[in-house]
């Protein structure tokens, strides 16, 4: 696997008010920043024992010893193990042992780092422009529109804007949002389906779950239990928005 030492990351000031910072020890803060610097900012592929593996942005396959080395002096393996357990409880990351090593996944990586990239690109354009104030104001409005409309990939087949993703987080939390995105991703990937809006599709699924019945012909069969029907029958329940 190629090391990931180039580039930069976004570090938001609101971190100073979060429990993961205010209630962490100096050692844990060092580990926190080190992990943010270690994870990938783009897909990283490598071959291990003849098999191909891919790490997504915000992920890194590593080890306690490698993290300790990156942290530098004063940080022990025990410090790192304790920090990882605490960060998991705070839903900052997930930490899983794999055949290739320890897979670290920083949750919500896309939400913050993609916005940083947009902001940086906008700053570069603003520095290069020499137009009048009126033209600059027009460009700013277009930038804001692009920022709101731009869709980010949250899995292989699921994309939405940062604003839509944040709304899902507000409604379902980190775990619930990830579960719903993964369910939609599996459905689209396995069925070859396309949706006009992945965000609205997830909300539509939630509405139909609460109604506990599918649309159309299946509705007259009484209370809806997905396990009672075939894939073709359930297809109408999972129809696109």
Q: What is the pLDDT of residues 205-231, one digit of tens each?
A: 888 887 765 544 444 444 445 444 444
CATH number of 13-109: 1.10.10.10
CA distance 59 to 110: 11
Mean predicted lDDT score pLDDT of the chain: 76
The pair of three-digit structure tokens given for residue 156, joined into one six-digit string: 């292989």
Domain range summary for the chain, segments of one domain joined by +: 13-109, 151-234
Residue 186 CA to residue 199 CA, distance in Å, equals 15
Top pLDDT among 4 and 63 is at 63
Token digits of residue 35: 């992990």
Task: Tell me what pLDDT residue 211 has.
Answer: 72
Backbone angles phi, psi at 216, to 5 degrees: 70, -145
Q: Cβ contacts of residue 15 below 8 Å, gap of 6+?
A: 21
């Amino acid at each position: 696997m190629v090391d990931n030492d180039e580039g930069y990351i976004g570090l938001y000031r609101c971190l100073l008010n979060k429990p993961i910072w205010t209630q962490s020890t100096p050692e844990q803060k060092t580990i926190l920043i080190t992990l943010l610097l270690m994870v990938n900012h783009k897909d990283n592929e490598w071959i291990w024992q003849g098999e191909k593996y891919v790490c997504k942005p915000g992920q890194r396959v590593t080890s306690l010893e490698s993290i300790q080395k990156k942290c530098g002096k004063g940080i022990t393996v025990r410090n790192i193990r304790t920090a990882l357990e605490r960060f998991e409880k705070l839903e900052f990351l997930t930490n899983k042992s794999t055949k290739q090593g320890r897979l670290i996944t920083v949750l919500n990586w896309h939400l913050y780092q993609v916005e940083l990239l947009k902001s940086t690109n906008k700053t570069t354009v603003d520095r290069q422009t020499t137009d009048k104030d009126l033209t600059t104001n027009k460009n700013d409005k277009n930038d804001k529109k692009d920022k709101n409309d731009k869709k980010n990939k949250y899995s292989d087949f699921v994309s939405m804007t940062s604003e839509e993703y944040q709304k899902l987080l507000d409604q379902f939390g980190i775990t619930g949002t990830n579960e719903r995105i993964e369910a939609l991703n599996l459905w689209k990937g396995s069925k070859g389906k396309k949706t006009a809006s992945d965000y609205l599709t997830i909300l539509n699924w939630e509405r139909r779950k609460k109604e506990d019945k599918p649309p159309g012909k299946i509705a007259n069969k009484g209370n809806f239990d997905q396990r009672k029907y075939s894939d073709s029958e359930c297809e109408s329940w999972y129809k696109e928005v």
